């Protein structure tokens, strides 16, 4: 993020923010951080400033919720760059919860929470001021 962008977003109260894991390449591990929507700006802040970014919501194209994400995952493109966002507990975290009735209830609750957050983000980012999808190459 640039310092001008940081001060611009930092001056206003976010409309919505949540923890998220962001991938910038299809075949990569994600980076944990905070995703925040302020006005028409979407910003991701990570522990590593080199992995933090800020974009205009109007620059988002090809916003999708893949079926395999069960509501807790979405992808989009900005100027041809890939972005993938995941919300809620990671699978590796869920794997540490015991496989019993109480553990199963905790896992279901964690997955439902991620799906709820993902649905809310999708509704915010799919507003009418988001640009239409880029044409698919054949």
Taking all residues of the chain, what is their mean pLDDT, rounded to a whole number?
A: 76
pTM for this entry: 0.71
Task: Give pLDDT, residue 138.
Answer: 40
Minimum mean pLDDT range among 56-60, 66-70, 117-121: 66-70
Higher pLDDT residue, 24 or 2? 24
Domains of the chain, first to last: 3-125 (2.30.29.30)
Which pLDDT band holds residue 44 (cuts at 50, 70, 90)? very high
Determine what percent of the chain falls in helix, strand and coil, rounding each to the nearest 5.
35, 30, 35
Distance of CA 117 to the CA centre of its chain: 9
CA nearest neighbour of 54 among 90, 4, 20, 102: 4
Task: Give pLDDT, residue 82.
Answer: 92
* Cβ burial, residue 86 (10 Å; 0-12/13-18/19+): buried
Top mean pLDDT of 36-40, 88-92, 97-101 is at 36-40
Higher pLDDT residue, 4 or 108? 108
Phi, psi values for residue 103, rounded to 5°: -65, -40
């Amino acid at each position: 993020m640039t310092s001008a962008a940081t001060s611009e977003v930092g001056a206003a109260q976010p409309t919505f923010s949540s923890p998220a894991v962001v991938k910038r390449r299809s075949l990569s591990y994600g980076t944990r951080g905070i995703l925040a929507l302020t006005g028409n700006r979407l910003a991701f802040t990570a522990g590593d400033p080199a992995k933090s970014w800020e974009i205009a919501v109007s620059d988002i194209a090809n916003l999708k919720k893949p079926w395999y994400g069960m509501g807790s995952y979405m992808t989009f493109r900005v100027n041809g760059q890939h972005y993938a966002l995941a919300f809620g507990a990671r699978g590796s975290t869920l794997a540490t919860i015991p496989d019993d009735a109480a553990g199963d209830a905790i896992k279901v609750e964690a997955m439902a929470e991620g799906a709820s957050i993902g649905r809310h983000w999708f509704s915010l980012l799919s507003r009418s001021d988001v640009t239409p999808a880029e044409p698919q190459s054949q």
